[in-house]
Chain A
Amino acid sequence: MIVPMSKVQIIGPKKHLAETIKEIHRLGCLHIIDIRKEPIGAEQFASPVKVDPITEIIRSRIEQAIARLTGLISLSLRDAAVRYETMPETFRLYKTYIEKDPNELLEIAEKVILEVEQKPQRLAQEKEELEKKLAIYQRYKNIITKVKPLVDKIIKLEGYDTTAIIVDKKYADVINIIREEIGRITGNRFEVISSEVDKDSIAAIIVYPNEYYEPVHQLLWSENVTQIKLPEEFENYSYADAIAVMERQIIELPKRIKEIDEQLKQYSDRYGNQLIALRDALCDKLEELAVVESFGETAFTFIISGWVPTKKVKPLIKALNKKFKGEVTVVEIPVTEEEKEEAPVVLENPGWAKPFEMILGLFSLPKYGTIDPTPFLAIFYPLFFGIILGDVGYGVVILTLAAYVGFKTANRAVKAGAYMVGFSGFMAMIFGFLYDEFFGFHFWEKIGLHPFVLDGLHLPFERAKEEVAIAYLVFALGLGAGHLLLGLILGIINSIKEKAVKHLIEKVGFLLLFVAAFMIIGSTLKKLPPVLADFGWAAIFVAMAMIVYGGGLIGAIHIFSFVGHFFSYLRIMALGLAGVVLAIIANSFAKTFDNIVLGIGIAMVVHTLNIVLHTFSSTIHSIRLNILEFFDKFYESGGRPYKPFTTRR
């Protein structure tokens, strides 16, 4: 249901403006109309409230404080959102802070920031640097570990320098060239030790008198050899010393990082709640200061205009009367049909249908004053899903998985999704009974039951049987006809609600077309008296005239799309058959293999694949049949979401 809304004006003397804002913010039910955007009715004589320079300064100080608090929260509280929901202490502090006036709150915030800012920031900086260092050491460690066995062999000599290189195995000859060249440069006062470090590369250590540092490095550079350079801080270290220090650091640094984390955690435990409560209270204060510009004012009064759910008008009047002893009044403004279109939309549905609002959330909200399609979606989406999937075994799997996810998660959207899938799985079980399917096997036989006949309908009907398939096709189309007919009736109700005469004529035209087609087909199949066919043909002409009159050229085009929509319901049968055939194929695997374990294993894989594919396609197509075929008959989108002016808690 779309919640009925009332337009209200809150009028009072200017001295109560700040307190009124605080009160409506606390009550959290008013969707404010910005007077600068919609200067209508009584607001014409009122101008937007002017903000004085002092308020501007306070706003800017609050913004700065919020930025600093947000920074501090992210430094010490990485799981801020989760803690916020679960810590009652935050709420207690928030309630204390929100009662204070902006200046007082700012003073508290700035004091806390000063107290908290320095140490955690320093710790966080140190942690960042240590993490960087650790990453560098770990990278170097891999390379240096490769050359370490060579370095171990070298005896450190006074006045000698060491350079390590890595050469691709394909170019192993280059080491000989280097050996010759360095021998020439140093007069054979050198040593090159080389060794394979992995399957692709060879490492070499060159030891030479340090007076030849320049020419040796030039040579290596000109030969394009990769030298292993140590980080800057190890410039004066030998490889052996550098490796030793790095290895020590790789052990030491994580300990220090852990220590910092501990200290940050202590800070978050001590200040976390306070920081979050302060930030939120300040955010709310900022909103209260900023919203003023949306209101109107005269010389002595203020006017706040907005929409409130009708059932909340009385509590709003009562609360403001109690607070201001009648000095601030709430007036309910009568609205025209045009103004009603501007009303914000909020949906209210019973628990069983509520999760399905999420599907509607993927699209635009329904227009105010029209029908909320959520309950229909909550009925037809699981119904189509069940008819398409229809297998007791598959239904049990889906229902179990959905229940598991639903109970495990704390996320509302995931919970709602799990409910929808679970409900659909349940419907798949129901239709599984009717189709006599259990993982593609006959279910009823397994549990010792026998089919029975109900009003001429054999239950269960095996939809995979060729002779039943036509009945299944007719069933799918019949279901589609019923669904579309309901859509048309809802379209007629919407047109009446909106007093849209042409729309109404078009919708009635379609309804007549539908009935006429039914009469003609019924008479042709000799299920209805032949005379009805004549009535049917006459009705078709009348219906077409009505459609073209009501909907114009687009209406005429809609006739063809209507036929398309009707046949679109064939997908229920097509997808259902595809699914059951795959399930039967999965079972036939188990029979074909000599090794029964292998056969069952493969059958289970195919069944799993079928469940995943079938669940996905059943979901998409059930949504599609609702959104595209059904909604097209009545749904009017374009509703503005209801955004009440409310505090964070």
Chain B
Amino acid sequence: MAAPETVQPMADAIKNISSALAIGLTGIGTAIAQSKIGAAAVGGIVEKPEAFGLIVVIMALPELIVILGFAVAFLLKA
């Protein structure tokens, strides 16, 4: 069994890596979703400029993913 003084740094390291993964992976997920929406949005705005406002809001939709990732990362760190 490992000595307690080595367990704590290991636990901290795992927490840090987990936090990084939580925010990093959700960030990538959001980026993929937004890139697809973005491409469609440009087409949409060209066809229907009056829908600009709605489209900008839809563009911001996938950000919830990274925000939840941030919340998880934050709770892990806290």
Contact = CB atoms under 8 A, between A and B. Distances in A.
Interface in B36-57: 52-54, 56-57
Interface stretch (A100-108, A389-397, A616-624): A616-624
Contact of A469 (B57, B63, B68, B74): B74
B67 interface: yes
B74 A362 contact: no
A466 B61 CA distance: 28
For the side of the interface on A, what is the size category?
Answer: 20 to 34
Contact of A574 (B52, B61, B67, B78): B67
B64 A568 contact: yes
A149 to B, nearest CB: 51
Nearest to A631: B57
Contacts of B64: 564, 567-568, 571
Interface string A549-579: 0000000000000001001101100100000
A362 B67 contact: no
Interface string A605-649: 000000000000000110110011000000000000000000000
A363 interface: yes
B71 to A, nearest CB: 5
A339 B63 CA distance: 41
Q: Which of B56, B67, B71 has the most chain A CB within a 10 Å cutoff?
A: B67
A80 interface: no
A265 B60 CA distance: 50
Contacts of A568: 64, 67
A624 B64 CA distance: 11
A624 B68 contact: no
A570 B67 contact: yes
A571 B60 CA distance: 11
Contacts of A289: none
A465 to B, nearest CB: 12
A361 B52 CA distance: 11
B70 A570 contact: yes
B24 to A, nearest CB: 15
Contacts of A567: 64, 67-68, 71
A561 to B, nearest CB: 10
Interface in A48-96: none
Q: Which of A469, A473, A624 has the most chain B CB within a 10 Å cutoff?
A: A624
Nearest to A575: B67
Contacts of A621: 60, 63
B53 A363 contact: yes
Nearest to A619: B56
A627 B54 CA distance: 9
A481 interface: no
A542 interface: no
Nearest to A628: B57
B55 to A, nearest CB: 9
Interface string A398-439: 000000000000000000000000000000000000000000
A470 interface: yes
Given A574-B67, A624-B60, A359 B78 contact: no
B72 to A, nearest CB: 10
Given A362-B52, A469-B74, A627 B57 contact: yes
B70 A574 contact: yes
Contacts of B67: 567-568, 570-571, 574
A571 B63 CA distance: 9
A339 to B, nearest CB: 27
Interface in A357-376: 359, 361-363
A359 B54 CA distance: 10
Given A362-B52, A564-B64, A567-B64, A624 B74 contact: no
Contacts of B74: 469, 473
B76 to A, nearest CB: 13
A620 B60 contact: yes
A362 B71 contact: no
A363 B54 contact: yes
Contacts of A363: 53-54
A558 B73 CA distance: 27
Nearest to B61: A628
A568 B63 CA distance: 9
B70 A623 contact: no
Contacts of B52: 362
Contacts of A623: 56-57
A469 B61 CA distance: 24
A621 B64 CA distance: 11
Given A469-B78, A473-B74, A571-B63, A620 B68 contact: no
Nearest to B56: A620
A361 B70 CA distance: 33
Contacts of B63: 571, 621
A272 B54 CA distance: 41
B74 to A, nearest CB: 7
A470 B74 CA distance: 9
A621 B57 CA distance: 8
Contacts of A574: 67, 70-71
Nearest to B69: A574
Contacts of A473: 71, 74
Given A571-B63, A623-B57, 9 more contacts: A359-B53, A361-B53, A362-B52, A466-B78, A470-B78, A568-B67, A570-B67, A574-B67, A628-B61
6 contacts: A564-B64, A571-B67, A574-B67, A620-B56, A621-B60, A628-B60
Interface of A: 359, 361-363, 466, 469-470, 473, 564, 567-568, 570-571, 574, 620-621, 623-624, 627-628
